Structure 1
Amino acid sequence: MMHQITKWLALIGLAFFISSCSDPTPKTKLVLVQGKTMGTYYQVTMALNEQQQLDAAYKISAIQVEIDKQLELVNDQMSTYRPDSELSRFNKAKETLEVSPATAYVVKASLALFNQSNGAFDVTVGPLVNLWGFGPDKKPIKVPSDETIKKRQQWVGSQYLGVRDNTLYKAKPELYVDLSSIAKGYGVDVVAQYLESRGINDYLVDIGGELRAKGVKPQNEQWMLAIERPNIGQNVQRLLQIGDNAIATSGDYRNYYEFDGIRYSHTIDPKTGKPINHKLVSVTVIHESSMMADGLATVISVLGPEEGLTFAKQQKLAVFLLVKQGDEYIEQFTAEFKPYLFEEK
């Protein structure tokens, strides 16, 4: 929900390691494509069959070219760092702009989450994120005053944003839309759809910690992922097998600063105009859509442990929470999440 919001899924580096620890069968082979996009990394692990391995169109270099094209298009549509992107041009416009069906689709999804979460998810919160020093603006030399926050809040509100067909419109000229809390997940879905269009149905797509898996590894093994324990170093809290789904984790313990001994999170609550202040350390969401998992993780991060868990249960979402309690981390999860927990026998 913020400019360059930091979303992570624990031990992503382990994902390829774990997926590669078994020798592949002669019929299938794991290959890895890596690159950079959206200010972060991407890596795509896929299992190719014998026929695909012999086809020049399935060489790593050829697949990477096509993946890069897909992700560059998403950046050209939705990046706020590219001055000529569709989103940047809309932010400069006074009222309306016709955009691609893809951008309109993601904005519609954002507005649906805004309504579903009663305003906890708001892609227009950028002016507040910048005010608190988590966007392009520098870290403030003092905590913003309530008066300053109220002034910035006048520029914020997805109720002033709309979509009609492929045209975006805004009721306030100052409205600034930032899709970073949902566009990365959308990018994962785009890559997954591209792979499936090429007949690649066993894969793990990872863009900066947003993941989507399908099928199996060689030897018919499930993709194994992990949730990180929020301590120093890489520690596994839980192992997961998510099936043909996407997964996103949002947490605030990696991106914050302190003033006078008070810790300020990078996640801003649109209703207060201030960083969230609760004991929810991380939230993990499993969903068939990476875009939705991405956005829903932000929703629950803003709502906090009690309201967030209630929301997840009401919506029947697969959600896992880590809540700080003294020096311990307490696990809470919905019934829908339990089947994905991997229990060693």
Structure 2
Amino acid sequence: MGTSYNVTVVVTNDQGKVDQIQGAIDATLVDVNAKMSNWDPNSEISKFNRSESTDFLPISEHLYEVMHSAERVHKASLGQLDVTLGPLIELWGFGSKERESETPSAEAIAAALDRVGLSEVIELRDQPELSMKKKYPDTSVYLASLAKGYGIDRVALAIEDLGFSDFMVEIGGDIYVSGENVKSKPWRIGVERPSATEMAIEKIISTSNLGMATSGDYRIYFEKDGVRYSHIIDAQTGAPVTHKTASVTVLAENAMMADAWATALLVLGSEAGMSIAEKEELAVLFIVRDEQDNSGFSLVASSKFEKMQPMEMEKTK
């Protein structure tokens, strides 16, 4: 997945099983990567992307589960979670190709938009077998917005199968926590301040038995002629978002859904995103830049988040 992971397991009288934990983690992540990784040219999704067939192709149960979840969030987020945005990501220089000296033209963006849209270019079916087809031979699927979360959930299940109930699994900043920490209290997770110039914690979240993911626009971006372009692409306009929402943190029943929703809601921004968060009963924390001072932030939480994490909404510097 091109990132690191960290797993913490609270062990009491099961010391003999400790050696099994690393083996279970390794085996699980090898399997997840073999199906979901866009970094691995031999993975299931990479082979699907390379195929020029527009017929239904059989896929694994695991890939079907992830794609089905992607479809659900795609529809509920007004299309803003979109795993087919590869052409636009490449066009803006956030993919594998070197960035062009000039920003994309309106014509180039329009041409790329015609080739993307999960509900338009990908079709799933579960009968007579689990399978997936693409509309165009060059249609590609990129699972960065769900695969880390899915990997976390699979690792969590592997640890549970070994008999452990108190643990934390983190991959690339996304997390699932179960039970209690070593102090027999809920796990405490820090939400980073969305700043490219400092490392600081904006909010501490106390949680258990939930997935947690944060998406932000403050790490990957470029500037051109005084304009800042983040890697967060609006699926409707085909261009980087321009709103003031700097990061979104989501608590959900598993890490995959937290991962997917954090991405979708960051694209939408706090205003449009909050409406959907309330409709979908999501626990969400938006961190929004001040209109006049980009170094200051306001915290805006959904009703469900406030019930789970009582907090005072204050501007912070």
Structure 2, unaligned runs of 5 or more: 313-317
What amino acid maps onto 1:311 in structure 2? I
Q: What is the correspondence of 1:78-227 to structure 2 with a 5 Å cutoff?
A: 78-93=36-51, 94-95=53-54, 96-159=56-119, 160-165=121-126, 166-227=130-191
2:3 counterpart of 1:40: yes
Partner Cα separation in structure 2 for residue 235 and residue 263 of structure 1: 22
Q: Which runs of 5+ in 1 are unaligned?
A: 1-37
Q: CA deviation at 1:200?
A: 0.8
Tell me the distance in 2 between the aligned counterparts of 1:267 and 1:343: 28
Assess, with a 3 A threshold, how the Cα gap between structure 1 residues 58 and 332 changes in structure 2: closer, same or farther.
same
Matched, 1:260 2:225: yes
- Which is worse superposed, 275-284 or 86-95? 86-95
Asked if the contact 1:240/1:340 (under 8 Å) is kept, the reply is no
Please report the TM-score for the alignment, with normalisation by the length of structure 1. Answer: 0.85
Instruction: Specify the alignment match of 1:280 in structure 2.
Output: 245
3-state SS, counterpart of residue 241 of structure 1: strand
**For 1:44, what is the secondary structure of its paired residue?**
strand
Q: CA deviation at 1:183?
A: 0.6
How many residue pairs were aligned? 302
- In the other structure, the counterpart of 1:76 is 34
1:173-231, CA deviations, whole angstroms, 9 ceiling, x for partnerless residues? Answer: 22111111111100000000111111110001000100010111234122111112223
1:333 to 291, 301, 307: 301
Q: Which residue identity lines up with residue 197 of structure 1 in the other structure?
A: D
Partner residue in 1 for 2:259: 294
User: Residues of 1 paired with 2:190 and 2:310: CA distance?
Assistant: 9
Determine helix, strand or coil for the equivalent of 1:336.
helix
**Post-superposition offset of 1:343:** 6.6
Q: Which fold has the larger relative contact order, with Cα–Cα distance below 8 Å and residues 6 or more apart in sequence?
A: 1
Counterpart amino acid of residue 85 in structure 2: V
Residue deviations 1:240-294 (CA, integer Å, cap 9, x gap): 1122111000000111000111100101111111111110001000001100000
- Conserved 8 A contact 1:97-1:167: yes
Match of 1:5 in 2: none
1:241 is the counterpart of 2:206: yes
Which whole-Å CA distance do the structure 2 matches of 1:219 and 1:329 have between them?
A: 32
Matched residue of 2:4: which SS? strand
Mapped contact 2:194–2:216 kept (Cα < 8 A)? no
Deviations 1:80-122 (A, max 9, x none): 2222211111112222321110011101111111111121111
Output the CA distance in 2 between the equivalents of 1:70 and 1:243. Answer: 22
What is the TM-score normalised by the length of structure 2? 0.92
The percent of aligned pairs where both chains have the same amino acid is: 39
Moved more, 123-132 or 321-330: 321-330
